[in-house]
Structure 1
Amino acid sequence: MNLATHIQTLGRGPGRSRSLSREEARDAMEIILSKTAAPEAVGALLMLMRYRGETAPEIAGFTDALRVDVQNWTGLPVALDWPSYAAGRTRGAPLFLLAAKLVASAGYPVLLHGWNSHQLAVASVRAGLADLGIAQAHTPAKAKALLQRDAIVYVPAEALHAPALDLLRLRDDLGLRSCLNTVLRMLNPADAPAMVQGVFHPSYRDLQSDAAEILGQTSLSVIKGGGGEFERHPGKSLTLMGLRKGARFETIVPELVNASRRLHEPTLPPVCLSALWHGAQEDPFATACVIGTATLALMTCDLEVDAAREAAQDLWACRSVRSAA
């Protein structure tokens, strides 16, 4: 089968077109990765899926194909997969990295992976990694060593699956995002038992939950997060969706503080991640964001709500002592 066949399936016209099955989507991605398809055909397929609205079987099929190429990352000692693929045009400091450090210090090793376009250097995820001493790994062996040492590591998308990143970056040529934003969030290269995901548009919460269920994921939390990341606004209630023990769930999580403001307010002094972590800067709102995000992540790792909240608060309270030890 060639890519034209799948394009015809998607674009025949009213009453004749349909979405791809999981198997067809996997075949389409395998053809794309083989580099035998014309660039125009690749763009046509991705934009037809964008126009129609990608489905959970299509996301699962694309993910199936990409996972073949990341099998050497499978088996790393990871408890929580934490993807970061938001564009981040309007966001401030990536506070979710502090939450990830808390989760790691609780004994749940975290694999961060991603790529973030359009971010200013001062607010970028990778600048935040350096600020907090979270190391990057470009090979599975290095990632394993860092996980054993720090219980947290970041793997750049270009090291994880460079061809998939090239497809993601077609947004620069096509002018629109493609389903690769969702697919890379679903990749879970280490096959971690738990995953967290943030989305910018609420409709993608269902899509990612459905795709994860098809892929056999057992624990997943999805929220509409700051800048599309898994980062909660502490002054707003939020809808938490995903999977628990393989079954779909949805619940409302109440606000943590009384605050009417944006998560990242440009009129206020910027947050320095390192200063906040070490206590040199005090920012109650940012602190509530970190603790609240860590609570949701710990819940994804099977802690009950109250236990997760108490653990996140205690970990934050002793972080300076822990980091200085």
Structure 2
Amino acid sequence: MTAQPLTLTTPAEHPFAQYVRMLGKGKRGARNMTQDEAREAMGMLLDGQVEDTQLGAFLMLMRHKEEGPEELAGFTQAVRARLNAPRIQVDLDWPSYAGKKRQLPWYLLAVKCLANNGVRILMHGGGAHTAGRLYSEQLIELLGIPLCRDWAATEQALAQHNLAFFPLQDWMPQLQQMIDLRNTLGLRSPIHSLTRVLNPLNATCVLQSIFHPGYQAPHREASQLLGDRSIVIKGDGGEIEINPDATSHLYGTEGGVSWDEEWPALSAQRHVKPERLEPEHLVAFWRGEVEDSYGRLAVIATIALGLRALGSSRETAFAQAENYWQKRNTSI
């Protein structure tokens, strides 16, 4: 009996394979994606057009290479194209994805104080994805910050309170699923950086906090490519919070023009970090029932950062921040 010849068929390459290859083709062959390529790649990820193995490989290759400004801008364009968000006027976009582990999240009191004085703020976050940290989502009910689960509720909260917290999982669940791979892959991915740039409601100014050195300038450049006004800082713990014990560098951009500003430390000596993070301490401090030297400086400086983002000079912003804090409504 004559053996039948083998019929060999070369399988077609998956359309997403080209993007994995761009990032992973060795030291000489790998390269950054262009903005257009990044937009197309993220579009395929968001539309579920990739295999799980490709998703993991892409995220970790990006993590190893480190995302560039064009890639962040392209990713953001893909997300914005799929948002279908209504037009809602917002002054500050306030991403909150890092969580705090050394100090309490004093920035939440700064946000409340700004909102009480007419500054419209959209906050968004990605849940408690890393153990040992205290996240905004865990404290917003305690502090009376409106939790919104759709755009209509967000619009209503902004109209009534000038403040809304809208979890990422409710407006871009595909990105939340990628963030949730943190404990599977063992490393943060570029999605953690991307969420800082998204600015889903086209706010007047985007505040961003990037803790790791060297990431601040690329984030500013990404905002420039997107035409956004932004300020990027190395915030305490990765959240948008001025550390009063350290010099703060502000990486700003407006109208395509970059600017830089140094804010000196506000305390001559470093404060001792608390033994435990007690959320109730934030409430007591807001109500004026307790004092906290570090907390007061952090809150005032972070309020000033928000005002600086909206066009005030540093000196004016700090003076106004003190006034806002002194006259705050101490009820929660």
**What TM-score, normalized by structure 2, do the two folds share?**
0.90
Are residues 54 and 99 of structure 1, via their aligned partners in 2, closer, same or farther at CA, if it must alter by over 3 Å? same
Aligned to 2:89: 77
Alpha-carbon distance, 1:269 to partner: 7.8
Aligned to 2:324: 315
CA offsets, 1:146-168, max 9 Å, x none? 11110011001111211111011
- Is residue 296 of structure 2 the alignment partner of residue 283 of structure 1? no
Point out where structure 1 has 5 or more consecutive residues left out of the alignment.
none
Mapping 1:257-296, distance limit 5 Å: 257-261=267-271, 265-267=273-275, 270=278, 272-296=281-305
- Is residue 222 of structure 2 the alignment partner of residue 211 of structure 1? yes
Point out where structure 2 has 5 or more consecutive residues left out of the alignment.
1-13
* Conservation of the 8 A alpha-carbon contact between 1:26 and 1:61: yes
Alpha-carbon distance in structure 2 between the residues aligned to 1:99 and 1:249:
24
* Conservation of the 8 A alpha-carbon contact between 2:300 and 2:322: yes
Mapping 1:94-109, distance limit 5 Å: 94-109=105-120
Aligned to 1:9: 22
CA RMSD after TM alignment: 1.9
Alpha-carbon distance in structure 2 between the residues aligned to 1:245 and 1:256:
30
Query: 3-state SS of the aligned residue for 2:26?
Result: coil
Query: 3-state SS of the aligned residue for 2:85?
Result: helix
Aligned to 2:46: 33
**What TM-score, normalized by structure 1, do the two folds share?**
0.92
Alpha-carbon distance in structure 1 between the residues aligned to 2:119 and 2:329:
19
- Is residue 262 of structure 2 the alignment partner of residue 252 of structure 1? yes
* Conservation of the 8 A alpha-carbon contact between 1:164 and 1:180: yes
* Conservation of the 8 A alpha-carbon contact between 1:234 and 1:292: yes
* Conservation of the 8 A alpha-carbon contact between 1:10 and 1:48: yes
- Is residue 145 of structure 2 the alignment partner of residue 134 of structure 1? yes
Alpha-carbon distance in structure 2 between the residues aligned to 1:141 and 1:211:
29
Alpha-carbon distance in structure 1 between the residues aligned to 2:109 and 2:99:
19
Aligned to 1:242: 252
Q: Which has the larger radius of gyration?
A: 2
Alpha-carbon distance, 1:106 to partner: 2.7
Alpha-carbon distance, 1:242 to partner: 2.2
* Conservation of the 8 A alpha-carbon contact between 1:81 and 1:112: yes
Are residues 119 and 280 of structure 1, via their aligned partners in 2, closer, same or farther at CA, if it must alter by over 3 Å? farther
* Conservation of the 8 A alpha-carbon contact between 2:178 and 2:191: yes
More helix by percentage:
1
The amino acid that maps onto 1:97 is L
Mapping 1:137-216, distance limit 5 Å: 137-216=148-227
Aligned to 2:4: none
Query: 3-state SS of the aligned residue for 2:37?
Result: helix
